[in-house]
Amino acid sequence: MLPDLTDLNTFRDALTNARGPDELAVQGATERNGQLTKPPGALGRLEDLAIWYAGWRGDARPQITAPQVIVFAGNHGVTAQGVSAFPPEVTVQMVMNFEHGGAAINQLAKSAGAKMNVHALDLDRPTSDFTQGPAMSEDELLIALRAGWQAVDPQSDLLVVGEMGIGNTTPAAAIACALFGGEAADWTGRGTGVDDAGLANKTRVVAEGVALHTSDDGLEILRCLGGREIAAMAGAIAAARVLRIPVILDGFICSAAAACLARMSPGALDHAVAGHQSAEGAHGAVLTKLGKEPLLNLGLRLGEGSGGALAINILKSAVACHSGMATFAEAGVSDS
């Protein structure tokens, strides 16, 4: 059961004290995997995924029947610096598209049999420009974290979170730079397609933001450099950790949100796998820092949770093989 998020310390404590996987379920799933009608290791990474999933669900022979996709939307004051090829008004327009079922994520969620929810977070009130001060106050951060925390259905058995927010590759790049070090250029990409001059400007903005906001605390980095939708994704991923709901991470922006949690608590992302590696240049580097090997690499750079949703069927297939296949004894097949 999720505690009420009354303050940021409650969030920190809930994440730090969250339970790990059920070791008995892991043991049972591992034993079952060794008895299935296939050569050892023949299903490759699918076997590891199924055992990992079984541990988090506390069931040695689990099923995936209730996946949830949540898309959070927010606007960013830093777009006033000219960091995006599109205006902030597009965020509102895309939220309407999500709500009417017309976006790619709607189709991918439907194909995966997932329930989809959309949460728009104060779109008429962008976060502050982080080159001038913190993007959010502590109260604003808490409200955004709580939006993600409360959006997770406790009855779901798999979670994907996505985002929509014009300009949000800029705060994601700033978060990655602040967390992992290096130069701003190492983490800054073209996002929605800025030209060379736009990329240089975007890199400058990231560098200025990181120079202004230095911290070793993932939550403080999220507050100063992030956005409401990024914080909401972090809140949802953390809630799933407390509820022991496995998570499939989406692209660069989702991974930046998750990285803030990993800085707060070393095991914060043990319940998460990377759905894909996006075409945004620094995403692969973030995944390497997080120790997450992507399930897919298809050149996607859409956001919305699209890569994570696409990977739902990979995990479903892994679990279906694990739980649905017969053992050698059940099939009457010799295992020697």
Q: Which residues are catalytic?
A: 304
Q: Sort 181 into a burial class: Cβ within 10 Å, 0-12 / 13-18 / 19+.
A: exposed
DSSP H or E segment with residue 70? strand 67-73
23 burial (CB, 10 Å; 0-12 / 13-18 / 19+) is exposed
Q: Is the CA virtual torsion 61, 108, 148, 213 positive or negative?
A: positive
Long-range contacts of 285-291 (CB under 8 A, 24+ apart): 285/176, 285/180, 285/186, 285/187, 286/176, 286/180, 286/252, 286/255, 286/256, 286/259, 287/255, 289/179, 289/180, 289/259, 290/255, 290/258, 290/259, 290/262
What CA–CA distance (Å, rounded) separates 39 from 334? 12
Q: CA 68 to CA 63: how far, in whole Å?
A: 14
Q: Are strands 158-164 and 67-73 parallel, antiparallel or unpaired?
A: parallel
Among 225, 231, 267, residue whose Cα is nearest residue 15: 267
